[in-house]
Chains A and B, each alone.
Chain A
Amino acid sequence: MGALATARSARPAETSSLWLALPAILALGLFFFAPLANLVTISFSGETAFSAYERFFASPAATRILVNTVLVALAVSASCTLMALAFALAIRTLTPFWARLALLSVTLPLWISILVRSYSWLYVLAQEGIVNRSLLALGLTDQPFQLLFNWGAVGLGIGHILLPYALLPIHNAVEALDPLLLRAARSLGAGPARIFFTLILPLTARGILTGAALVFVLALGFYVTPQMLGSARNTMLAVYVDVLVNTMLDWPRAAAASLVLVVTVAAGIALLAFAAGRTVARLRP
Chain B
Amino acid sequence: MTRISDSRRLQFLDQMMKSQLSRRGLLLGGAATAGALAMPRFLGAGEARAAETIRFCSWGGSIQKLQREYVLQPFTEASGIEVVEDSLPLSSRIKAMVDNDALEFDVVQTDLLTLLSLEQMGEYFEPIDYSAIAPQALKGIPEAVRLPKAVGYLYWSYNIAYRTDKFDAAPKDWAEVWDTEKFPGGRTLTSADDGQYPNLEFALLADGVAKEDLYPIDVDRAFSALDRIKSDVVKWWSSGSEVVQLFTSGEAAVGSAYSGRILTAKSEGAPVDLAWNQGQASLDYLMIVKGAPKDRAMKLIDALLAVEPSVEVFNRYNAGPANQDVLAGLKEGRAAELPSYPENLEKMYVQDSQWWADNLDDIIERFHEWTFA
Contact of A128 among B4, B191, B192 (CB under 8 A): B4
Q: How far is the CB of B254 from chain A (nearest CB, A)?
A: 14
B21 contacts partner chain A, Cβ-Cβ < 8 Å: yes
CB pair B365–A233 under 8 Å, yes or no, is: no
Q: Is the interface of B mostly helix, strand, loop or mixed?
A: helix
CB pair B13–A119 under 8 Å, yes or no, is: yes
Most buried by A among B4, B117, B372: B372
CB pair B91–A119 under 8 Å, yes or no, is: no
Number of B residues whose C-beta is below 8 Å from A? Answer: 45
A64-B372, A126-B251 as given contacts; A247 in contact with B197, CB under 8 Å? yes
B193 contacts partner chain A, Cβ-Cβ < 8 Å: yes
CB pair B24–A235 under 8 Å, yes or no, is: no
Which of the segments A14-22, A236-244, A257-265 contacts the partner chain?
Answer: A236-244
Q: How far is the CB of B233 from chain A (nearest CB, A)?
A: 7
Contact of A148 among B118, B194, B251 (CB under 8 A): B251
Residues of B contacting A248 in the complex (Cβ-Cβ under 8 angstroms): 360-361, 364-365
A269 contacts partner chain B, Cβ-Cβ < 8 Å: no
0/1 interface trace, chain B 189-230, chain A, CB 8 Å (1 if under): 001111111000000000000000000000000000000000
Which of the segments B47-55, B79-87, B234-242 contacts the partner chain?
Answer: B234-242
Residues of B contacting A148 in the complex (Cβ-Cβ under 8 angstroms): 234-235, 251
Bound together, the chains give a CA A224 to CA B249 distance in angstroms of 19
**Interface residues in B110-137 (C-beta closer than 8 Å to A):** 117-118, 121
Number of A residues whose C-beta is below 8 Å from B? Answer: 39
CB pair A227–B193 under 8 Å, yes or no, is: yes
Bound together, the chains give a CA A16 to CA B193 distance in angstroms of 52
A65-B368, A249-B95 as given contacts; A232 in contact with B236, CB under 8 Å? yes
Contact of A119 among B9, B17, B117, B250 (CB under 8 A): B17
B336 contacts partner chain A, Cβ-Cβ < 8 Å: no
Contact of B186 among A127, A228, A240 (CB under 8 A): A127
0/1 interface trace, chain A 61-96, chain B, CB 8 Å (1 if under): 110110000000000000000000000000000000
Q: Which chain A residue has the least Cβ–Cβ distance from B234?
A: A149
CB pair B234–A231 under 8 Å, yes or no, is: yes
Q: 5 closest Cβ contacts across the A-B interface?
A: A61-B368, A128-B250, A232-B236, A232-B371, A127-B250
Instruction: Write the residues of chain B forming the contact surface with A, with a CB cutoff of 8 angstroms.
Output: 3-4, 9, 13, 16-17, 20-21, 24, 35, 38, 90-92, 95, 117-118, 121, 186, 191-197, 233-236, 238, 242, 245, 249-251, 360-361, 364-365, 367-369, 371-372
